Structure formats: C-alpha cells, structure tokens
C-alpha cells in the first residue's frame, strides 16, 4: 500500500544535509522505479542548475524523501518517508530511463525540459503512518 501511495503522489519533500550540518528540505517531483526514487533538476526558472541539493548529496549522500497526504477528514491522513542513499546519475541509459519515468508521471514535462542532473535515491527503508 505504501508503494502505491508514494507512486501516485504528485510531490515529495527531499531532505538533505548542508555543509554545516543543517537540514535542507525542498519540494520535488519524483518517480519510482523499483526501490529507486528519481528526481531531476528541471527547466522551471532557476538562477542556476548547480543547486545546493546536488552539492549536499555529493558531500553527504544519506537523504530522505517525505511523501504525505493531508485531508480535512483526519482518518484519510498518511505519510511515508523513504530513507536511503542518493547519488547523481552518471549513466546515460539510467538517466534516460529516469527521465522517461518522470515524463510519464508528469504531463508538464512535455513542455518543460529536464536539462539538469538526475538524482537517484536508493531506498533502504520505508517508514510510514498509518
């Protein structure tokens, strides 16, 4: 059940650790392929594609992805946290596979490029409620 909830969720929050040991949390689009969650730096307006989350991952790859659902009916609340180790995808074939999965999940990527790095979160634990 957790995997289907996460797969269908439109957004997650990616947690990394900065160089001074502080947490950094950013919303992100993602797609699951097996036990790997992929996210890419897309073409939405940014000042640079060299984002802090990329530097954080290169320095400290232990990260998490929090996916949740809020509803005014609190019996429908849920959250799932994916813990694991992240890396910047170097393989062209893996990058292509990840971008195809992201484009299949998000229709916006038909018009928005994915020119930046792709992050792979190799999931080691699924923690959730309920």
Instruction: Show the domain range for 71.
Output: 2-129
Q: How sure is the predictor about 45, in pLDDT bands with cuts at 50, 70 and 90?
A: low
State how far the Cα of 83 lies from the Cα of 123, in Å rounded to an integer. Answer: 6
Contact 57, 119 (CB under 8 A): yes
- Is residue 47 predicted with pLDDT exceeding 60? no
Q: What percent of the chain has pLDDT over 90?
A: 85
Instruction: Give the residue, 88 or 42, on which the prediction is more confident.
Output: 88
Angle at 35 between CA 33 and CA 37, to 5 degrees: 60
Q: How sure is the predictor about 48, in pLDDT bands with cuts at 50, 70 and 90?
A: low
Quote the pLDDT of residue 127: 97
Quote the pLDDT of residue 42: 75
Q: How sure is the predictor about 41, in pLDDT bands with cuts at 50, 70 and 90?
A: confident
CATH number, domain with residue 29: 2.30.110.10
The reported pTM is 0.91
In the chain, how many domains are there? Answer: 1
CA atoms within 13 Å, Cβ hemisphere of 2: 14
């Amino acid at each position: 059940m957790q995997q289907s909830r996460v797969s269908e969720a439109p957004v997650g929050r990616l947690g990394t650790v900065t160089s001074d040991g502080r947490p950094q949390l950013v919303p992100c689009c993602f797609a699951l392929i097996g036990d790997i969650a992929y996210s890419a730096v897309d073409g939405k307006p940014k000042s640079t594609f060299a984002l802090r989350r990329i530097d954080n991952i290169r320095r400290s790859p232990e990260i998490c992805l929090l996916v949740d659902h809020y509803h005014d009916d609190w019996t429908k609340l849920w959250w799932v946290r994916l813990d694991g180790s992240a890396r910047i995808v170097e393989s062209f074939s893996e990058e292509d596979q990840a971008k195809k999965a992201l484009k299949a999940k998000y229709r916006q990527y038909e018009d928005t490029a994915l020119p930046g790095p792709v992050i792979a979160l190799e999931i080691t634990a699924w923690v959730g409620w309920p």
